[in-house]
Structure 1
Amino acid sequence: LDKELMTESSLFNPLSDIKVKVQSSFMVSLGVTERAEFHGKAHPGTFPHGNPRAFGTLQARNKAMYIQNLASISTSSELRTTALFGHLGGRLVVPNTGVSLLIPHGAIPEESSWEIYLAITQRESSLEPEGPEVLLGPEVSCGPPELQVSTPFALSIPHCAHADPQHWNIHLKRRSQQGKWEEVMSVEEETTSCYCLLDPYACHILLNSFGTYALIGEPISDCAVRQLKVAVFGCLSCNSLDYNLRVYCMDNTPCAFQEVVSDERLQGGQLLEEPKLLPFKGNSCSLQISVLDIPPFLWRIKPFTACQ
């Protein structure tokens, strides 16, 4: 979205008088642990520290601190951490992403030590959902894949689904060495080699093999809900007085938001308002984004950009 500046007298920082509305086009049509724990390196101010599950209304001072803390997020192109594990096991964590790996006591032979990695794919996932399926969380890799543990380990992957078995059929898939994605299990139908615990924010899976995993959801009713996070960033164009608004609708997972903020830092963008949660139902309708309440005499929306 682009806006053309009509006067140099006022620049809004943040643009508190401009409202951006995101909604389903369908709604528009209606009118309406005691082991060693290893954390990857993170900047001491990395946000969100502790990863709050949802963003409520903040006071003005807290809101300013919230926006300021975004400047400290790393611009690294890869979220990856490694650690050396022995017979006692331990826990490996990618900071502020909700992704972790728990190696139990005895899974690694005595007098042995293994270097184990945990990584999140930030590029577009190679997994192509079929039909109505959607990717519910990040693509996560752990390994090396050739290592064999004697006791199952636990992999935690965040998800954005309102997990109700009446509305969702959720599957775990694994990428083979040939690059083909294969189904490991359905969350509702555990196997003898894989067990899963699904909570409101993450999926915790007991696995026997390292590799690359992802959660896929198939909506089985129109009431299947994905939690999306809506964030609005803005910045002045380099060679003009245009002000660009960029509206992101992303999965409500910590790593998705971190990736957006990292990209915006490279573009000089500033978060204009705390992100909001949007329950998005599986009705196959698109999102509509519109700019409302423009301050008069100060801004003019460029043609064909007010609603997308």
Structure 2
Amino acid sequence: MSSHENSFQPAQFLLLVGVPVASALLLVQCLRWHCPRWLRAGRKPDRQEEPVPDPTPLPEDESPHQYPPAVLSEMAAFYQELHTPTQGQTVTRQLMHKLLVFSAREVDHRGGCLILRDMGISLLIPPGAVAVGRQERVSLILVWDLLDGPSLSQTQALVSPVVACGPHGASFLKPCTLTFKHCAQMPSHARTYSSNTNLLDTKDWKALGKSGVHTSLDECRIQLSHFSLYTCVLEAPSGQEACKWLQLAMFCSPLAPGQTHLQLRVYFLNNTPCALQWALTNEQPHGGRLRGPCQLFDFTGARGDQCLKLKYISEGWENVDDSSCQVVPHLHIWHGKCPFRSFCFRRKAANENEDCSALTNEIIVTMHTFQDGLETKYMEILRFQASEEESWAAPPPVSQPPPCNRLPPELFEQLKMLLEPNSITGNDWRRLASHLGLCGMKIRFLSCQRSPAAAILELFEEQNGSLQELHYLMTLMERLDCASAIQNYLGSPAQVRVGTWENQDLELELDV
């Protein structure tokens, strides 16, 4: 071999060996760079539940996201934020990959009460529970993370939220009282569980004894000797059917001029206030709004999956999805995973030359929902309707305050008590329902609700009704007791707008 050929051997060796080694090093660096993102991304939810933002619960067949273990400084900051006084406010925040709703305050010998607003959860520290001269920081936490709940069998159902009282392990001179809602049909079938662990630790759920636990029709009260995690599980005795109450909530964004598609999302939720608030929070990124009062129905552990079947779409619209029937797995509902199913509708033109965006400014949809095998025992989702509303499409003028569509809580309760009892003449909540344009079928459905008067007052709120308009309706109905109660909140002679409400002359069907 010549000297000229020998001079090229090192260069050839570098090309043959160095390039593969460099490529391997570059590949390793890329994997190190992208793997954390892959770990955080997890698996994508199934197509039926898109788009789903965090904290949408994972389907039954999916594994949870993998997060790196928390370091001590992160854990210290987590607990410090949870126990920092919130000045009476209820805070919703995602901390350490958990969506939490919490409130915290300092309590002395006079005691105090923590309430999670709109969640049906409270913690009472009685007078004398804290020694004179001392102050204790306490917190009440709703955990919107199903991974923190107990592992359930197919016969067990989650019927309440997971609630934590902090700081973990704290004890007092007198027992404190934790109260939260449950949705078991038979209170005797609801069993309270506790996990004597920190919120970030691996949970160890065990059933509590009956001592210090009282379960009423829809509420669980626990006398606490020390603070920990608590929840309620439905466990029916052998040979008895387990049932729980569900609420069905429908959401969609308002129609806008020229909008060609509309997605309707139907949630199957435990009949507890915090489950509905979870759905409201989940809908915020999409601008979804609750359409009408939630509908109540029973759900059993011995039956099949839940079906949602489209029965009617108003003229000018069509279903985009391949199927008119969707199914929710039984355990998704039974284990309280707050599942939902969505339908997408689009406008259709009468002929090829017609602009489909100008055809109709409302959509009316009817659906049936039932457990598999019991199609004849369905519940009808009554005439869902969405229309173009100017108050949704554009903000109110700056010179005018935005409309308030919520009645004062005290007035709401007072009107509910006055309108709830059925009168022989029908001049009760049913008359108000008639004035609001509800047909006899809807009125019959409302009569099956736990509080028909509350449902119709909520519907009035959804229609952005004012106190003046409600005062006018009560006067028109000759319900002067209700009109007087409203007048006390108006503070001056009511200025009503005659002719605001349509269907005022509808005849009331009394065969409810």
Q: Tell whether the structures are fold-level matches, with TM greater than 0.5.
A: yes
1:9-50 deviation per Cα after TM superposition (whole angstroms, max 9, x unaligned): xxxxxxxxxxxxxxxxxxxxxxxxxxxxx984269xxxxxxx
- Residue in 1 aligned with 2:174? 151
Deviation at 1:300, TM superposition (A): 3.1
1-structure distance, mates of 2:187, 2:141: 28
Contact 2:177–2:221, Cα closer than 8 Å, also in 1 = yes
- Residue in 2 aligned with 1:219? 236
2-structure distance, mates of 1:39, 1:139: 23
Contact 1:219–1:282, Cα closer than 8 Å, also in 2 = no
- What is the TM-score of this pair, normalised by structure 2? 0.42
SS at match of 2:280: helix
Deviation at 1:182, TM superposition (A): 3.0
* Aligned counterpart in structure 2 of residue 107 of structure 1, from 129, 135, 147: 129
Contact 1:226–1:281, Cα closer than 8 Å, also in 2 = yes
* Aligned counterpart in structure 2 of residue 229 of structure 1, from 237, 247, 254: 247
Decide which structure has the larger Cα Rg and report it: 2
2-structure distance, mates of 1:135, 1:173: 13
1-structure distance, mates of 2:87, 2:121: 11
2:227 corresponds to 1:210: yes
Distance 1:129 1:237, change over 3 A: farther
Counterpart residue identity of residue 207, structure 1:
L
- Residue in 2 aligned with 1:269? 288
Counterpart residue identity of residue 133, structure 1:
Q
- Residue in 1 aligned with 2:153? 130
- Residue in 2 aligned with 1:170? 191
Q: Which protein, 1 or 2, shows the higher relative CO under an 8 Å CA cutoff with sep ≥ 6? A: 1
Deviation at 1:217, TM superposition (A): 1.5
1:75-116 deviation per Cα after TM superposition (whole angstroms, max 9, x unaligned): 985310011101121211111111111111221111100010
Contact 2:148–2:203, Cα closer than 8 Å, also in 1 = no
SS at match of 1:107: coil
Runs of 4+ displaced beyond 6 Å: none
Counterpart residue identity of residue 280, structure 1:
F
- Residue in 2 aligned with 1:200? 217
SS at match of 1:108: coil
1:257-277 deviation per Cα after TM superposition (whole angstroms, max 9, x unaligned): 011012112112122332100
- Residue in 2 aligned with 1:28? none
SS at match of 2:283: helix
Query: Greater strand percent: which structure?
Result: 1
Percent of residue pairs bearing the same amino acid type: 23
Distance 1:171 1:41, change over 3 A: closer
2:160 corresponds to 1:160: no
Q: CA RMSD in A?
A: 2.9
Segments of 5+ residues of structure 2 without an aligned counterpart are 1-46, 49-85, 328-512
Distance 1:164 1:256, change over 3 A: closer
- What is the TM-score of this pair, normalised by structure 1? 0.68
The number of equivalent residue pairs is 235
2-structure distance, mates of 1:100, 1:42: 11
2-structure distance, mates of 1:242, 1:123: 32
- Residue in 1 aligned with 2:140? 118
2-structure distance, mates of 1:94, 1:302: 39
Query: Greater helix percent: which structure?
Result: 2
Contact 2:90–2:103, Cα closer than 8 Å, also in 1 = no
- Residue in 2 aligned with 1:249? 268
Counterpart residue identity of residue 156, structure 1:
T
SS at match of 1:293: strand
Segments of 5+ residues of structure 1 without an aligned counterpart are 3-37, 44-73
Distance 1:169 1:275, change over 3 A: closer
Contact 1:173–1:216, Cα closer than 8 Å, also in 2 = no
2-structure distance, mates of 1:249, 1:116: 33
